[in-house]
Structure formats: C-alpha cells, structure tokens
Amino acid sequence: MERTKELSRLLAFVGSGHGHPGQDINGTAEDQQPGPVLCDGAMGTMFYGGGVFINRCYDELNVSQPDLVRGIHAEYLQAGARIIETNTFGANVVRLERYGLGDKVREINLAGVRLARESVNQIREKQASEALVAGALGPLGVRLAPEGKLTAEEAFEAFREQVAALTEEVPGVGPDLLIVETMVSLAETEQAVKAARAVAPNLPLVVMVTVDEAGNCLDGTTAEDAATKLTEWGVDGLGCNCSSGPAVVLNAVERMRAVTTLPLAAMPNAGMPRSVEGRNIYLTSPEYLASFARKFVKAGVTFIGGCCGTTPAHIRAMRAALRALEAQTSAVQVVAETSSAEVLENKVQPPALGERSKIGSMIAAGDFVTLVEIVPPKGIDCSKELEGAALLHRLGVDAINVPDSPRASARMSAQSLCTQIQQHVGIETVLHYTCRDRNILSIQSDLIGASSIGLKNILCLTGDPPKLGNYPDATAVFDVDAIGLVKIVKKLNHGLDIGQNPIGGSTGFTISVAANPGVADIDNEVRRFAFKVQAGAEFAITQPVFDLRLLAEFLKKIEGFRIPVIAGIWPLTSLKNAEFMKNDLKVSMPAEIMARMAAMTSPEAARAEGIAIAREMLAEVRGQVQGVQVSAPFGKYTAAAQVLGFSDGETA
C-alpha cells in the first residue's frame, strides 16, 4: 500500500509540472488519481539508427559511450517524456555473459542510472520540467526449467543482482521506480518480482508482459491471467509492452483492466519491422501511434510510451495527442464552470446572442446565413483577398470565414486578415482560432485583443498537427483542444479569465465549432460534438461535404443536442481536385460526382460542372441547415459567388 501511494505521488508530481517530490500537490499524495504519464521510447532503435552495430552489447554503451546514451535520454525528455528508463534492459548476468561482461553487472547498471539521472537533472535546469527515472529490467533471454536449464533460484539471483546494482545509489540519485518489461513467461516474471521486492521493498514496481496477436504470453498465459497473478504478487502497476504493435497492446490492456484496478502501462512496438535494403525498419508512423495514445487513455492506461521502433518523433506526437486529451480533463477543469464560489460579483452576463454580431443576430433569428471562406496569403500582400471580400460584400454575402494557417501552413495570421477585411471592406468576419500554436496564456491574450478590435465571431478549432504542413518539425502546443477552447471563450464572454479574474466586461463573442460528418469514426465525432455544445458552442460549421447522406445521418445523430448547423460546400475545379479530396484528404466522394467531373473535356467545363454540383447540393441542404459556407478554391471568389446564386456582380 505504501508503494502504491508513493507511485501515485510520483505520478502526480511529474504530471503537475512543478513542485518537488516531497510536497503535496493540490492535496495529499493519497488523494492524487494518477492520470496518463508519457514514458520514453526505444533505446536499441536509436542506437541502431545511429550506426551502432546490432551485435554490440547496447547496455555496455553506458560505460564506453556515455554521451551517446545521455543524448538519447535528452532527446526523449525534450520530446515530452516524463519517465525515462535506464539503458539496462539486458544488463543482467545471463545476457551480459554472452558478451564476456558477466562481471560488469554492477558497473553497467550503476552507469545506466547515473546517466538517466543526469539527463533528468539537466532538463529540470534548462526547462524547469520534472521527470522520473525508471530502473529497467528485461527478461534473462533463456527458458527456465523444466523447459530450459536455468533454475528458478538462478533466475532469482540474476534479477536480485541487477536490482541491487540499479538501486545501490542513495535516494535522489537512484531510480524513482522499477520497470520490469517484455516478460514472456510468468514463471520468470515471478522471480523478477520476488527479487525486486527482496532488494527494494519500498520502491514502486511496474511489470509488463508481451503478448502475441491472440493476447497471450509466449508461455500461453492470457492477458487476464497475467494481470490477475501480478496483482496477487503485489506489483504497483502492470501492463503490456512490445508485442506486434499498438492494436495488440490495446486489446491486452483492455482485457487486463477487467480484472485489476492497478495502474496500467502500454508501451507498444511501432508495428512489426520490415527489411528495407538490409535494415530492419519499423514503418508505423508517429501519427498512427499518437492515435493509439488517445485510445490507451480511454482504456484507463496510466503509463504510455513506446518500445521497439519508436523514436523521439513518436513520443512527441503522442505528447501532442495526450495534451489535446488533457484539455477535456486537467485543462478543461481549469476553465470549467465552478461552484457558487465562482466570484459571482465579478461575473457578468454576455449580451444576448442576437446582439453580439450580425452572424449572431441571424443565427438567433433563424435566418439563412451565407459565408465564403477566404484563405490568408502566404506573404504580406493581402490585396487580392481584400478585393475578393469587397466583391462578395457587394453581392450580399453575409460574412467572410478566415482559416487559421490551414493544414499547418505558414500564412498571414487569420486575425490580421479579419481585422483588415472589417476595417477596409466593412463586411463581418468569422475568425478561425486553433489551439495548435498557443498555450492557455496566449489564447486569452489573443481573444481579449480580438474582441477589443471588433472581431466578434470565433470558430474554435483544435488545429491540424504541424506534421501535415510545410514545417513538420515545428512544435505543437495543444494546451487545450477545441472543447477546452470553447470553455475559455465562454468564460471570457462572462467577463472572467480562467483564473476567475475580471477582464472589465464581456468579450461578446458568438461561439462556433467545427463538425465533420464524413469522418470515419462518426460516433466519436458525435460525442465530441456533444461536448462542444455542452461547453458553450452556439452554432457549427461543417467540413466540406459531398456525400449529403452523411450530412443527413450526422444531423440525425445530434438531434438531442443540436445547435444551428452551417454546411460546408466546396465547388470542385477539376477531376484532379476531386481525386485529391478523395485520396489525400480522405473526403467521402460519391462515384456519381467523380464520374461527372471525369466526363468534362476542358478546364472551363470542369469548373462549370463543379459549380453546378455545388449549387445542386446547396439547394438540397437548404431546408436541413441554417446556412452554408462556400469555399473559394485557389482564390476563385467568383466561383463561390456563383454557387450562392450571384453572377457577374449582380444577384441571380
């Protein structure tokens, strides 16, 4: 029990990002519920990728190449890991003897702990970020009797020797916890647990097994039985690592959760390796692994990291995914409505929706809204965009929708273009605002500033990850996601920042959110939409929809919590444009539309057909939604006007 409390305290400590292990954080350690904590990825993969031959003893590099090991630890910490494992996975006497290093167990393990601790201390000094050191132990690499020659007593002694070396340093220098991982046999695992308890009875212990695609250890033990046994043996956390990829690990931990209440760990391989020009390469992308990080959290996993094939890029992507999810828990809790102690004397009521903006007035009155999207330029000259806005204003378009660095590209800020359009043209704008690039401090500053210069319509977005854009190595922030952002805007509308401090009045924003009726996981989209509505969203704008059946199905699914919906319409310009939408952007594109675009024999005919299709869709959805947002592909503002029924500067 004391070890479990210590583990919760440690996890709360690194999760808080401040304080020191000896202090309480928002209450006593016992009160802390461990949330997801990001661990590091593979060491061997990094050594191999750095040119260290696979026949080397990677654990021995702690002694012969300490700067290399320390550098990898630093990369994982900079990527966002808050638990790093010592480079001692195979530093037991059985494995080391294969390299003639059986007498170096103590030296190699001590060096591994010191290097990890030095890296953690450096990141604390440079970035004021806290992290933990986990002493890592792997399997002995041989079978125990009766299948093999090694006795249980010999296995115990091998693990005991390694644990003693890992924990020899004084508190504050040694590891914060022990992680036994990639265990394939429960008999061997039991000896590792006994050794850890015999040598370091007060140190938190997390044990992970590896399983096959059926969810069984190599000795035939099921995931459920492994979790049951480990719980009985008194470990402090358990889970699954390595295996054949994240899907298999997710299945295993979900089954484990059904039989234990202990903290879970999930650290999968980056899929199965493929031989590419003589090298074993793991092809699972960071984005794919990041999608499973979110699934691990939903399954109740506490320790999330990577195993073979994972790199700092994978950990960085997982960190972004976890921070977006944290917006619905920790960050959202900061901006959520509180109890009666919510400084009622400072809270103000925002103006009624119909009084905040033209769009708000039209939404409140049930009028049909017409928006046209104008994308900011990639440079400092926005004269073309201003001319397009002026044309659309003359024709009677209600407002201009301005994206915020769409697809993570570097462009003029959406706020700047919105301001110039409103000042020079006089038409209202809807400002897209993403969480990708800003922490909760800059979000508040930006929004207060936007309100002060007359921007009153906000579309709250999580934002495309930088990997999609022209600066893939840029760091994403994601302090909150779109749901948390809506909470912030709603609070600012009530005249309070997230710390309950008055800002002098209501920002008066009309709050909108995005919706994607064509997403593959529609149930998750609907759940998130419900959260957005609950958070304070007042209307929604969909992604471009070509398959109107999907829009109808989405509208039906949100009937119980529906807010006014504005449908996105994109006039196609060519068959190539349609193929890009379908294949690259994964937009559902009906075969009929593809056939119509393919039948066009000239660029002019293709553009005209794209406009005709868009007009047909507008006519069909008019009775189902409260407006449309028409995109202007490649800056063709006249095409957008024609979709809305305008032609040659005159109403049709």
One domain for residues 512 and 611: yes
Which tokens go with 162?
Answer: 């390694």
Alpha helices in 87-239 (DSSP H): 93-96, 105-127, 152-166, 186-199, 223-232
One domain for residues 574 and 428: yes
One domain for residues 362 and 504: yes
One domain for residues 240 and 387: no
One domain for residues 464 and 316: no
Residue type, 6: E
Least confident of 40-54, 106-120, 196-210: 40-54
One domain for residues 320 and 425: no
Q: How much is the average pLDDT of 463-484?
A: 68
One domain for residues 236 and 304: yes
For residue range 219-234, list pLDDT tens digits in order: 999 999 999 999 999 9
One domain for residues 213 and 124: yes
Task: Give the pLDDT band (50/70/90) at residue 292.
Answer: confident
One domain for residues 623 and 497: yes
Determine what percent of the chain is predicted with pLDDT higher than 90: 64
Distance of CA 293 to the CA centre of its chain: 7
The total of structural domains in the chain comes to 2
**Cα Rg of the chain, angstroms:** 28
Q: How much is the average pLDDT of 406-418?
A: 84
Domain boundary among the residues 294, 326, 358 is at 326
- pLDDT at 441 (0 to 100): 87
Task: Give the pLDDT band (50/70/90) at residue 2.
Answer: low
Domain boundary among the residues 293, 326, 359 is at 326
CATH number of residue 307's parent domain = 3.20.20.330
What's the pTM? 0.58
Task: Give the pLDDT band (50/70/90) at residue 5.
Answer: low
Residue type, 624: Q
- Across-strand partners of 432? 459
pLDDT tops 50 at residue 611:
yes
For residue range 553-570, list pLDDT tens digits in order: 999 999 999 999 999 999
Please, are residues 137 and 112 in contact by the beta-carbon 8 Å criterion?
no
Alpha helices in 558-590 (DSSP H): 575-583
Instruction: Quote the domain boundaries for residue 403.
Output: 335-651
One domain for residues 203 and 65: yes
CA distances from 294 to 222, 250, 288, 434, 551 (A): 24, 11, 11, 19, 26
Task: Give the pLDDT band (50/70/90) at residue 33.
Answer: very low
- Cα 328 to Cα 316: distance, rounded to the nearest angstrom: 20
One domain for residues 317 and 347: no
- Cα 382 to Cα 532: distance, rounded to the nearest angstrom: 33
pLDDT tops 90 at residue 287:
no
Output the average pLDDT for the chain. Answer: 86
Q: How much is the average pLDDT of 367-394?
A: 95
One domain for residues 507 and 564: yes
CATH number of residue 410's parent domain = 3.20.20.220
Binding residue numbers? 242, 307-308
- Cα 610 to Cα 577: distance, rounded to the nearest angstrom: 10
Binding residue numbers for Zn(2+)? 242, 307-308
